[in-house]
A and B are shown apart, each in its own frame.
Chain A
Amino acid sequence: MLSRQASQEAAHTVNAAGRKRNRWWMTVMPLYLFTIFFVALPIVYLFVLSFLTRAQTWGVVNEFTLDNYLKILKPVYLNTFKESFQMAVLTTLGTLFIGYPFGYLMAKLPKKTKSLMMLCVVIPFWTSALMRMYGWIILFRSNGLLDKVLMGIGLTDSPLKLLYSYPAVLVGMVYSLLPFMILSVYSSTDKMDWSLVEAARDLGATRWTAFFTVTIKMTLPGILSGIILVFIPSMGLFFIADILGGGKVMLVGNLIQNQLQSGRDWPFAAALSVVLMVFTSMMIWIYRKATGVKDLEGLL
């Protein structure tokens, strides 16, 4: 009897707690409303816009068309996509080869140096991207600092004319996105179970075999998330191509910006954005399927 009463009481408190918990819906409302009105709705509108017709002079006409998508198939625009893709692949490979060892070594540092190193990686990330691009302009400029140093030590005897070239854009891209790769790799290396590597070593594997068979596999989530975090923005960073490429390098981002600001063809720009968005969402989806991880590693 007593125990029954107790259990009833317990059930009562559980119910009360349940009812109380319901009040938390109020706290998620701002997030829900904001997300629906200012993220979901605008994106839906982008899709709609990409099927509308461009008006003769300015703006759009509410007429359904597929022309905007068909236009992308023109060789000029397809080529831009191809070039963007190439740039993104090169940027990703660049950050991977330069950033992986750094992220890996960083995780192996003693604790104090580690946090200092972390700070060193994060600070450039916090400084203005434009300021860093400006630094590269000064370095790359004809007769600029890099030319002076190279000519000074006798490696070259005339200015390299690096600014406004493809390599300059590539360096700018790799440079800007490197911290993402480093932090991703670092975060998965830091969490790694080193005993597995030790086990491999005990079983007779050399340092390098152990690294390539065990460590690489265990840091794969970090590598993949780094790849995503670098690859996706690199398709759209039009201002780097603009500033360091001087109009010589045309990426999808530049194309969209041109259409919006000078071409005034918003529906076409919308169609380009939709294609780019579908492409990047597919990459994220594949990443999630492949790793089973919901949040990107080391994003924050």
Chain B
Amino acid sequence: MKKRTIRLSAVYQALLLLFMYLPICVVVVYSFNVSRNTTVWTGWTLDWYRKLAGNRSLLEALKNSLILASLSSGAAGIIGTLGAVGMARIEWKTKGAIEYISTIPIMIPEIILGMVFMAFFAMLSLPFGMVTLVLGHTTFCVPYVFMMVKSGLVGIDKSLGEAAKDLGASEIRAFFDITLPLILPAVISGMLLAFAMSLDDVVISIFVTGARTNTLPIRIYTQLKSGVTPEINALCTVMLAVTFLLVGLSRFLGNKISR
């Protein structure tokens, strides 16, 4: 009886994993298809990767996306980390409110955020493009870093920092020597999460981008609505590989630091 339940749950877990990975695998496999039509399979080729390497506008979009994700996760890394560390050490009445407001961007449906920024930036008559993209993305990157670091701080023994100060270390010294190394895994994983979210974002980007700045998700989105070439499959596959690398790296770093 018990054995049967175990086998049943294993089957169920396997099926669900299949459900989760099937669409991804399909995209990867069809990036090697000779035909440009995904309803037929006509053989293996690497042509689409070659075409991708020569596709200026797609590569430009990729470059934009990488710049955008680096800038916004970087800014969020600074704002979020400093904010979380400081918040744990001050007793202001507005603290709770600011904390709450700062997490609104990941609490409300993305489309509202997109709408909010589009209207706001238009009112300020900011030119739509990389600047508005970075500002928009940073707002939803900050909460990821902030919340990660905040929960990272909870696990830290406060007395360590106090001990350092008792031994004569300045506040700043104690922070850089004791607190920062301890919360570094949280900072890094928060920033990586923010980076991934920014790299993947369509909804907010669509609303705050200008006519000339394309990000990769926007390109893919417009192609999915009009017509896709397997170059997109190839591109997705490359991105997937990068993601695997990033996840692997963050876990590796996390393990290293915690040891």
Interface presence of B156 (CB below 8 A): no
CB-nearest residue of chain B relative to A129?
B200
Interface presence of B257 (CB below 8 A): no
Q: A128-B220, A134-B27, A299-B147 are in contact. Are A102 and B101 (CB under 8 A)?
A: no
* Distance to closest chain B CB from A46 (angstroms): 5
CB-nearest residue of chain A relative to B195?
A126
Q: A31-B98, A119-B251 are in contact. Are A127 and B240 (CB under 8 A)?
A: yes
Residues from chain A with Cβ under 8 Å of B80 in the complex: 31
**Residue contact B22 to A135, C-beta cutoff 8 Å:** yes
* Distance to closest chain B CB from A298 (angstroms): 11
Interface presence of B139 (CB below 8 A): yes
Contact partner of A45 (CB less than 8 A), chosen from B22, B119, B236, is B119
**Residue contact A260 to B207, C-beta cutoff 8 Å:** yes
Question: Number of A residues whose C-beta is below 8 Å from B?
Answer: 82
Interface presence of B138 (CB below 8 A): yes
Q: A98-B16, A130-B202, A139-B22 are in contact. Are A42 and B220 (CB under 8 A)?
A: no
Interface presence of B176 (CB below 8 A): no
Q: A38-B135, A42-B117, A253-B109 are in contact. Are A124 and B20 (CB under 8 A)?
A: yes
Bound together, the chains give a CA A20 to CA B243 distance in angstroms of 43
Interface presence of A120 (CB below 8 A): yes
Interface presence of A169 (CB below 8 A): no
Interface presence of A138 (CB below 8 A): yes
Interface presence of B60 (CB below 8 A): no
Contact partner of A123 (CB less than 8 A), chosen from B123, B142, B247, is B247
Interface presence of B107 (CB below 8 A): yes
A-B contact pairs, 27 of them (CB 8 A): A21-B90, A24-B90, A27-B83, A28-B90, A31-B79, A31-B83, A31-B146, A32-B83, A35-B101, A102-B13, A105-B12, A119-B251, A124-B24, A126-B246, A130-B224, A131-B24, A132-B24, A132-B27, A135-B25, A138-B27, A143-B39, A236-B203, A237-B110, A273-B111, A276-B109, A277-B112, A295-B151
Interface presence of A87 (CB below 8 A): no
CB-nearest residue of chain B relative to A108?
B9
Q: A24-B86, A35-B101, A277-B108 are in contact. Are A175 and B23 (CB under 8 A)?
A: yes
**Residue contact A42 to B119, C-beta cutoff 8 Å:** yes
**Residue contact A131 to B82, C-beta cutoff 8 Å:** no
**Residue contact B109 to A43, C-beta cutoff 8 Å:** no
Interface presence of B68 (CB below 8 A): no
* Distance to closest chain A CB from B24 (angstroms): 6
B 218-241 contacts with A by CB, 8 A: 220-221, 224-225, 228, 232-233, 236, 239-240
Residues from chain B with Cβ under 8 Å of A167 in the complex: none
